[in-house]
Amino acid sequence: MRSTTLWDRLPEPVRERVDAEVVQRQLIRAVRVIRESGIEPVPGLAGCQILIAERTELLADRLVPLPPRDPDTLAARVGGLPRPPVAFEAVWDGDTQGWIVDLLAILADPWEEVPLASIRGLEQSDEATATGRELAARFRVPFHFASPGEPDDRAPRWWDGRR
């Protein structure tokens, strides 16, 4: 089913809710709004994803800005954590739109990972590596990225064997 046909089938209040979620970058919520709209047959996931991608492109000038991910901003955030980091780590994750590198602060006692930034795209591993290394140097802790050159969401984690 073409997404324009799906869009045309949605009642106006549902369209407004979908666009509101897209503008807030809440893409999974937008898909849920479509699938729970009450139209029959229930739209498939693939059709919803295509529609959300189109709405995202159409509403690009209204999207909320992505959170800053520069080292100074992230270091300030880390300084406000309840415990100092024992390491920083970059890990691969993926979704229907592609690969993402998540930059994490690792805390101990109890062990916890705190998301600092998500950097989308294969070419962004260099940014994640540079930012992670800079944060690690500032806080004098290790930085770990098991697979910077190739996406691997099953690569060994920094804390494997440390807990």
Q: Given this model, what pLDDT does residue 1 score?
A: 44
What is the C-alpha separation between 74 and 68, in angstroms, rounded? Answer: 8
Quote the pTM value. Answer: 0.71
Residue ranges of E strands in 8-142: 85-95, 98-107, 112-120
Mind listing the pLDDT tens digit for each residue in 130-153?
Answer: 999 999 999 999 999 999 988 888
Q: What is the pLDDT of residues 22-31, one digit of tens each?
A: 999 888 899 9
Neighbours of 105 (CB within 10 A): 25
- Ordered by start, the domain boundaries in the chain are 3-62, 71-144
The type of residue at 40 is: E
45-60: b (≥16 Cβ within 10 Å) or e: eebbbbbbebbbeeee
